[in-house]
Amino acid sequence: MDFSELKRLYDQPLFDLISQSRETHLRHWRGEQVQRCSLLSIKTGGCSEDCAYCAQSAHYSTGVEREDLMPVDEIMRAAQRARAQGATRFCMGAAWRGVRDGTPKFEQVLETIREVSQLGMEVCVTLGQIGMREARKLKEAGVTAYNHNIDTSPEFYSEIVTTHTFRDRLNTIAAVQESGISVCCGGIVGLGETPHDRLRMIEVLCNLVPAPESVPINCLMAMPGTPLADQPPIDIFDLVRLVAVTRLAMPKARVRLAAGRTRLSREGQALCFFAGANSIFYGEKLLTAQNPATDADVALLRAIGLSIEPNDRPVAVPT
C-alpha cells in the first residue's frame, strides 16, 4: 500500500475503518487468539545511543542503573517462568548500539539462545545493529525473530535519534531478512510525531519485502530524565486508527500492543483488539518500564471473551 491509500483508510469515520480491519483480521486469523509475549532486558542501561524516548540511553540521567549482560542460567530461569505463565514467545532485549560476531558478549548471547530455544517458545532478540554474519549465527543458534523497530517516519527519525540513522535501521532489517529470520518491526506513538509520520512509518513497514511477521505498536512511556519525559499520551482513537490501518496494511502480521498499556483503559485495549491487535507483551516489567499485572491481563481477555493462545501446541499462523 502507498501513503495515499493508507491515508484514505485512516481518514474514514472510525467505525467504517474498524469494520474493515475487523473483517481482514478475521479472514486471516480465523479465531480470536491473543499471543502473549514475554520481554526480558538481558543487558540494561548505559547505551551509547541517544534515542530521546529511552531510559537506557547513557545520554540522560534517568536513574536506570547500568547492568552487565545477564548470565545464561539467570535468563533461563526467567524464560522458564515466562513459559509457566503462558508466554509462547520470549524476547530478549539488550541496550546496545549493536553487537559484533567474534566478541565474547555475542558468544554469550548465542549460548543463551541455544538454551532458551529448547523451551518450545518462539525466540526473539533485539540487540541493536547487526549484519549478515551475526544474523546467520543467531539463526543457527535458534532465533526465530529479530526485533528492530523503525520507531517513526524516516522524516521524523532524526528529531528522535542522532547517533544512528533511519538508513542504519533499514540495513539491519535487510540483513535479518537475508538470513531468513522473521522480522519484528514497529514503532512508537506519542513522540510528538504527526498522524502523517505514523502513516509514513506504516508505509515503510508494509513495503518491506517480506512484510514484518510482527509489528509492535508501542505507546510512549514518558520516562523521567529523557527529553520526552513530559510528552502527553496520544488520544485512544488515534491509537485504534493506527492499529486498524496496520492490520489492513499487513494482514498476516502479529500486531502487538507493546509498551504503554498501563496508560490505556481496559475499554481502549478492547477496542484495539477489535481493530486487529492480536498480541500483548505480558509480564510485570517491560525492559525498564511497568506493564499491567499478568492477572489483570488474563482477566481482561476473559472479560471480553478473547481466547489466549495456549503454550502446549504450535503457535497459530495466519492464512
Interface contacts to ligand SAM, rule CB under 6 A? 53-54, 56, 93, 95-96, 126, 128, 148-149, 151, 188, 218, 220-221, 223, 259-260, 287
The bridge status of strand 285-286 relative to strand 289-290 is: antiparallel
Find the binding residues for ligand SF4 in span 121-140 (CB under 6 A): 128
Active site positions, annotated: 47, 51, 54, 91, 124, 184, 256
Give the residue, chosen from 51, 135, 240, 277, that forms a contact with ligand SF4 under the rule CB under 6 A.
51
Residue 54 engages ligand SF4 in binding (rule: CB under 6 A) = yes
List the one residue from 95, 125, 244, 301 that touches ligand SF4 (CB under 6 A).
95
Which residues fall within 8 angstroms of residue 159, CB to CB, at 6 or more apart?
52, 192
64 binds ligand SF4 (CB under 6 A): no
Told to check if 57 binds ligand SF4 by CB under 6 A, we report yes
For residue 223, the partner it binds in ligand SAM, ligand SF4, none, with Cβ less than 5 to 8 A by kind, is ligand SAM
Q: Which is nearer to ligand SAM, 189 or 206 (CB)?
A: 189
Nearer to ligand SAM, 233 or 318 (CB): 233
Which is nearer to ligand SF4, 29 or 166 (by Cβ)?
166
Interacting residues toward ligand SF4 by CB under 6 A: 47, 49, 51, 54, 56-57, 95, 97, 128
